[in-house]
Amino acid sequence: MTVPPTSTDSNTHSGGLGRVAMRGSMLNSAQWLINKVLTAGAMFIIASFLTPAEWGVGIGSLAIFQFLCLFLPLTVGDVLIAHPKRFALLAPSASGLAMIIGCCTAAVTLLSIPVVIYFYTKFSAGWLIGLLAVQAIRPIIEAKFVVPLSAMRLNLAYPKMAFIDGVLQMGATLLSLVIAACGGRSAALVVPQIVNVAAKATWYSSIANVPRSARFHPKLALFLFRSFVKAASAQYIHNVIVMLEILVLGFVSGEYQAGLFGFAFLIAAQANTVIAYQLGVVLQPIFGRLQDDPERQVTGFLKAQRVLSAVCVPICFTQAILAEPLFRLILAEKWQPAIPVFQVVSLMQAFYFATGPSMSCLRAQRRFGTFFAWQGIQLLISLPIYWMGADWNGALGIAITSGLCWAISAPLVVWLCTLASPRKHLFDALAIFVRPWVVCVPLFGGFYMLTQWSSSFGYMGDIASLFVVGPIATLLAIWIMRFLHADIRNTIDGFVVGSLKKIRRSPT
């Protein structure tokens, strides 16, 4: 189960970190791309069955659940992966620790329901109670596949993971549609996630190569728990920050405004989730193998972030300029107030993309204290700012204030990751964000004016914006990104050449 460093590994690490990471990310992202397209389409269909208020109750229950989960069992896997050479010895103790944490988290969730109902008076109490009770099962289920998932990640078994996740996510999406169409309302956003986790636990446990030689040992569990507390505390704060807008909106403005923001965020975040999050999953075990060479680790991290920025930032700008024609064509009048919220959240994603790989890098560096401090400070600053934004202009106000916070936080965490290197990388970290924005602001400003002109032609103009203007703007921006850095140019050119070779080799 352990992977001792060999000369071959060293060569792979020195010259192939970017290739290994991108290949693993592409395998995961391919299935995620298909599923996220289906999910985004399904969310639009589900939105036709739900009102913004019903969407707010569903997304609000998810946010409150994250707030109640102080410790999540899956974080035990991050700690376990940080000790790859002792995986076989620590795995049984990690599994037992995860189950203890899962049961405690479930109990806390159930016991906290009366308190939640007392504070969230602007939510439907019956639905909120039921949805939180269902979600209390999730931590126990997640504890069952902490070790199998960690084993597969450590062995870089991304093809299997991509297949399993793809099949199960597709099933969860279809189940959401069925529940919504049958009048399940807010449950359509919650119940399929629990079913998905249960199926994943069963499937991963049946195929993962988990070592059986060792047994649960309290001292080893305590050893893992010490690191887990730091990692879980940081992860908890991050989860709260991600859901903080919904938590504040639900309390200050009610379920309707929470529904507008929740829907806009869910749709706007699909593209970044496909690319950035999946790359973060791939990078953590690879970075873990480079603990003894921090300069090489940081160099690979910066390369991955440069390539991410060259793809994610143009996609985020494309989403923003296409929001109006997209919502006009697909959604009913009840969802039109979400258009400006979606636009602002899309631009916010042009910073947020960097957080997934950055968190994976900090975990691989075992700098859980730094992770905790970064997220803790952001939480303390964000809470009053979000509160003022929600009180000022509901969902739109909190979207604007959230974007400003992430515009500062994302470059900061990228720079924090580079501190492990003996060299200074401050300007490299800032350039990851500055260069794409310098390109995209004037370019997409012109394309936005074009979509406004196209809208004067009615439905045909909106269709032209979606299927002509949008793709051209995205591809042009990514092509211009090639000239910003050699890493970006080499990666994009390599991807294009590789794709063309596969097309030529494919049978006609």
DSSP 326-393: HHHHHS-GGGGGGHHHHHHHHHHHHHHTTHHHHHHHHHHTT-HHHHHHHHHHHHHHHHHHHHHHHHHH
263 found inside a domain: no
Number of neighbouring beta carbons within 10 Å of residue 328: 16
CA separation for the pair 454, 458 (Å, rounded): 8
31 found inside a domain: no
Domain ends where: 254, 284, 315?
254
Domain ends where: 254, 286, 301?
254
Q: How many residues does the chain have?
A: 508
Domain ends where: 193, 224, 254?
254
Residue 503: per-residue pLDDT: 59
3-state helix, strand, coil in the chain (%, to 5): 85, 0, 15
My answer on whether 61 and 207 are in the same domain is yes
213 found inside a domain: yes
285 found inside a domain: yes
My answer on whether 322 and 232 are in the same domain is no
My answer on whether 223 and 284 are in the same domain is no
Residue 403: per-residue pLDDT: 92
My answer on whether 201 and 332 are in the same domain is no
My answer on whether 281 and 324 are in the same domain is yes
Q: Is 298 left (phi over 0), alpha (psi -120 to 50) or beta?
A: alpha
Contacts of 35 (CB under 8 A, 6+ apart): 165, 166, 169, 170, 173
Work out how many domains the chain is built from and give that number. 2
My answer on whether 217 and 303 are in the same domain is no
My answer on whether 207 and 302 are in the same domain is no
DSSP string, 10-72: HHHHHHHHHHHHHHHHHHHHHHHHHHHHHHHHHHHHHHHHS-HHHHHHHHHHHHHHHHH-SS-
My answer on whether 220 and 330 are in the same domain is no
Q: Which of 37, 285, 266 is nearest to 161 (CA)?
A: 285
Range of the domain at 456: 269-498
My answer on whether 238 and 341 are in the same domain is no
My answer on whether 345 and 224 are in the same domain is no
Q: Which of 341, 338, 346, 342 is nearest to 315 (CA)?
A: 346
**Mean pLDDT by 10-residue block, N- to C-terminus, for the chain (508 residues)?**
37 45 48 63 86 91 90 80 75 84 92 92 89 93 85 74 80 90 90 91 81 74 80 80 90 90 86 57 50 72 84 90 91 90 92 84 79 87 93 93 93 90 84 92 94 90 92 91 78 64 58
My answer on whether 274 and 230 are in the same domain is no
Residue 33: per-residue pLDDT: 54
CA 295 to chain centre: 26
Residue 274: per-residue pLDDT: 58
Residue 506: per-residue pLDDT: 55
Max CA pair span of the chain: 70
Residue 31: per-residue pLDDT: 53
CA separation for the pair 305, 488 (Å, rounded): 10
CA separation for the pair 300, 306 (Å, rounded): 10
14 found inside a domain: no
Residue 78 host element (H or E): helix 75-81
467 found inside a domain: yes
My answer on whether 341 and 390 are in the same domain is yes
7 found inside a domain: no
64 found inside a domain: yes
Buried b (16+ CB within 10 A) or exposed e, 57-91: bbbbbbbbbbbbbebbbbbbbbbbbbbbeebebbb
Residue 441: per-residue pLDDT: 94
